[in-house]
Amino acid sequence: MENKLPRQQAVKLRGQTILERLFGCWHRNVSRPFTISGRTYEVCLDCGKQFAYARVDFQHNALGQTR
- The distance in angstroms from the start CA to the end CA of the chain is 64
pLDDT by position in tens, the chain (length 67): 455 667 888 787 777 777 777 777 878 899 999 899 988 999 999 888 888 887 776 555 555 554 4
Q: What pTM value is reported for the model?
A: 0.49
Candidates 27, 66, 28, 35; CA nearest to 52 is: 35
Give the three-state DSSP class for 38: coil
Q: Give domain limits for the chain.
A: 25-67
List Cβ neighbours of 64 (8 Å cut-off, separation of 6 or more).
none
